[in-house]
A and B are shown apart, each in its own frame.
Chain A
């Protein structure tokens, strides 16, 4: 057995493939590439393969991490080139790197993710032009509150996301706000960019519709991984 991770990109129409569908997709892609994955033991064996972080439907990404174990050891370069041959449009194989056999899972290492966000700014709705939006004031609030739907509970709960925003840079151009931001991502603390957008809307007293937003994950920070 050998353990690897793969970095891939997701662009174009492929962004409309859900996390669950990506799991099935990669299982088939490995089979097409004739790379035999190791399987879990038990009544219903499944291939040893998992993503560092799920990606929301509709987001593109330049940096998705998938770890997996193969039955046989093979050069990481070979895995990369074989997979690259069996990808559909929109999914690019960027890197493949071997991992030590025993070690923390990528999901456990993941602490933060960087995003590039475009918001088409509806001047009438938002009450100001994009370049007049007081981002500083937004960030300097004592608390940045959003409503988050909690697992298994029907009522959304109000939470403060301020501490989960690690970095943020912004610019406005032609009534589009372009942001580069690093947010907590992982099992300890996690912030979905959707909530950040919601908070910006809330600050202006408006709702930003999802079709006005483009989100791309540009990087992921994995603690302890030699990236």
Chain B
């Protein structure tokens, strides 16, 4: 193992605190004593990666295994990268400053598609060949996981192994097996052939896609008989038994989400048809209130953080929400810790709670109706009515909130101009309501409307749906309607949403598009100051040149139910028949009940325990 000297670089970069490690609760282990050394990479800046709880969870679990070692790696900012390249400093891990290429295994977490170019850039900066078939046994094994691994194909040429699903059990098992094979001097191939027996392990080189002439998939040929036909995601059934980091790392520099985080549950029973998280994290698995309280107690003690937030897809759906919230408010008040409760459904109890925790300083209230009319909300199965929205807004105004935020999506399947009118209409009527209510300080009241562009995702009922060819017209249309006093309107740029749509449902060929873009200097694509329209356009041209069609093929084309989908290799636990049924209901604007009312037959309970199905039926 070697150590890199970075002091002279640190003196020249904007934020040296990103590269030093050494935070409180950091875990350092001896490389020589470890059976497998693992570098955990988040392909974005330190401030972003350190805000991601999944890394803290796995860092903790792996390092608690005697034979394993885990260190962290982030994407260096543009200024640091430039110096590293100039001075020939390879990508290094924070804890020991060891070059990443000296680790046994390098793992990337893929949280969003627009970090893919950063992943390639980090491999290059580490001095590791990009393509799996160019790497020898001296290079680290490259693995990847996270929500974007549910369509692994765009990265299949670069990654040796994908770990799909919850990593708490599968990742340490995988790394230990690697250590055993390494110690026994067995080949990498032999290891991979054994590793596919671990649930959630997908080895792209064991499969070969065969294409039709039109570019669609004909079939996926298995090249190793022992590899599974489909890879079922790994899942932790009992969250209470999974180790949660009660001594998380406490960053020295300010990060994006600089607070203690307590995870309540995984999964969601609401079944919004656009939402990938709502499908791939099924079934809902809750932590017990006792465990949640114990975690909150220890995490605040062990970090000294003065803010805490709760993590789940829908806080108020937690079964023992009132009891849990009441206990946590007491704990936080006693310790001078600010508590934030994201994604609340605004009923009377929530208002009581919010009024309590935001006694002095009312931050904004957020609603996510996602669509402007009831019809379109039925299409996407977002079961929130206008009556729900307005009665909550009325209460909020009465209680003195002055800022309300709305989230909508644009380009949803079946959307018409009427649905966009509905967005403006809601904003208009909220302002109107405020004027009519005559509460103190009503002139300060304002509304923010944020509209994002719909990106169809793999493993959702909308996985067959096209993305809008162009959002510009709709943006212009809505912008004109949103010139309302007291309302500010934001929308996302469409180039990034388009690329997301390509990689969210891409096949193995899209890896070429990605690599070309990276070669043209594309990285940090979600940062508008870094986004290179030219780089991506040149990549598009190269792709068209090579395959005879453009990437709109993945984006704006409606797929048939019969088509073989690139991500069919991944079994997320929800059946394709269920997704088709949901898509058909969407076409008729028919809603599906929350799974707590009745089981909707998504298929997850055929292989896992679904503790909340039908409990309110």
Contacts and interface: CB of A to CB of B under 8 A. Distances in A.
A57 B305 contact: no
A124 interface: no
Contacts of A205: none
A25 interface: yes
A211 B26 CA distance: 27
Contact of A27 (B26, B253, B304): B304
Contact of B304 (A31, A89, A90, A210): A31
B306 interface: yes
B305 A28 contact: yes
A137 interface: no
B306 A27 contact: yes
Interface residues of A, number: 28
Contacts of B253: 17-18, 21
Nearest to A36: B336
B360 A32 contact: no
Interface stretch (B5-13, B273-281, B415-423): B5-13
A43 B300 CA distance: 24
B24 A211 contact: no
Interface in A27-59: 27-34, 39, 43, 57-58
Contact of B17 (A12, A16, A32, A43): A16
B22 interface: yes
Nearest to B10: A16
A13 to B, nearest CB: 4
Interface string A208-227: 00110000000000000000
Interface string A106-126: 000000000000000000000
B302 A32 contact: yes
Which of B21, B22, B23, B304 has the most chain A CB within a 10 Å cutoff? B304
Given A13-B20, A16-B10, A28 B26 contact: no
Contacts of B250: 28, 88
Nearest to A39: B336
A86 B24 CA distance: 8
Given A12-B22, A88-B24, A25 B306 contact: no
B16 A88 contact: no
Given A24-B254, A211-B8, A14 B22 contact: yes
A12 B12 CA distance: 16
A29 B23 CA distance: 12
A27 B360 CA distance: 21
Contacts of A86: 24, 304
B304 A32 contact: yes
Interface string B260-298: 000000000000000000000000000000000000000
B304 A16 contact: no
A13 B96 CA distance: 12
Nearest to A25: B252
B358 to A, nearest CB: 14
Contacts of B12: 210-211
A210 B11 contact: yes
A111 to B, nearest CB: 29
